[in-house]
Amino acid sequence: MAHVFTTRARPVPPCHPKNKTRYRSLDKIAADPRVVEIWDEDEDGIWVQLAKGWNWNDVSCVHEWRVRDVIRAFKDIKEGPVL
């Protein structure tokens, strides 16, 4: 009689509470205190709402189409008011 191997699926940990996307690679950004929330609008890209006192290109949200672009754009967040 052949031995049958069974596997148990490992439970997938939930994303960071501020990360409302399916992309776990954004959890590190979601954990940053400069971030209020991250969400994905499918046809309209990925959005990152910044906390008060922070801006990206003088606006309060980062908006990009791909995860890697969000990660790159996050490096350009600056302290200061939204203009």
pLDDT at 7 (0 to 100) = 59
Confidence category of residue 8, pLDDT binned at 50, 70, 90: low
pLDDT tens digits along 9-56: 666 677 899 999 999 999 999 999 999 999 999 889 999 999 999 999
Q: What is the pLDDT of residue 83?
A: 78
CA distance 6 to 25: 29
Q: CA–CA distance from 36 to each of 1, 6, 26, 31 (Å)?
A: 57, 42, 13, 9
At 82 the pLDDT is 84
Q: pLDDT value at position 11?
A: 62
